[in-house]
Structure 1
Amino acid sequence: MVFAHVAKNKGFKLVLGIWPDVKASFDSDKKILKDAIKGNEDVIAAITVGSETLYRGNFKGPELLEKINQVKKEIPGVR
């Protein structure tokens, strides 16, 4: 992950995001993030999950919480 290298050199932290609307893309994006983060956990401040889905009406609170918990379980060590 090029951004992680740059962030590390400059002392920055990254906030990454994942959009959970469609299961296939959500699963694919989780894998991409998991692979990209390996070895760079120290520069990842957080991962946002569906940051706009509540006010757009894509998900209700419990549905979004389920997606957030999936990411937390599959990508441990990152908030």
Structure 2
Amino acid sequence: MLKAYGKVIDLHTNKVIAERIGYLFDTGQSSKIGGRVPWLWAANNSCPSFGSEHAFTAQLDQAAIFVEKVLRPRQ
């Protein structure tokens, strides 16, 4: 199991604004047989879910999606 996390930090106050913690699990138990890339496949078993049948492509945008949910431009 792989734990993945990220933080959004206010650079002026050095305070954590938001934190994202997620977990990935590779059912193939890290096997590389047949040219397999274990952690790309682990994305299909993620918590929270990446919400896609082919989650390994969805995981590329997860950091940007997280930051966009947290930060809002000033009016």
- Shared fold (TM-score greater than 0.5)? no
Q: Which has the higher strand share?
A: 2
Answer with 1 or 2: which has the greater Rg: 2
> How does the TM-score come out when normalised to structure 2?
0.29
Determine which structure has greater relative contact order: mean sequence separation of CA pairs < 8 Å that are 6+ residues apart, divided by chain length. Answer: 1
> How does the TM-score come out when normalised to structure 1?
0.28
Q: Which has the higher helix share?
A: 1
